[in-house]
Amino acid sequence: MQKEAFDDPVGFLICDREFHATIYRASGNALLADFATDLYTYMMEYRRTAVARPGAIATSYADHAAIVAALRDHDPDAAVAAFAVHTDRIYQTTQSALKDGRQDRS
């Protein structure tokens, strides 16, 4: 479904939220799944801005593919590394969208 949402930032974000929540639930971490879902809702405006930037969805999808590959290979070290890259990218792009939003309001 994510492949079909490359030109649909909101659609991609919905898939993205479900991707993360599914992995967190599957790992037995219902609290993290709930937290991620709530955070997505709270930060939707900024995440929509972030993923609307050129190449952002393709980059996120590539991160997701690396996470899935590590999980499929039952390689916890690779999964942790792939998640670290992806969550750092989420943090950086959200910070950039927040900064841009503050500048737009000035």
List Cβ neighbours of 30 (8 Å cut-off, separation of 6 or more): 24
| Separation of alpha carbons 40 and 47, rounded Å | 8
- pLDDT tens-digit series, residues 62-88: 999 999 999 999 999 999 999 999 999
Residue at token pair 């909101």: 10
pTM: 0.84
* pLDDT at position 104: 55
Residue 41 burial class via C-beta count within 10 angstroms: exposed 0-12, middle 13-18, buried 19 and up: exposed
The amino acid sitting at 39 is: L
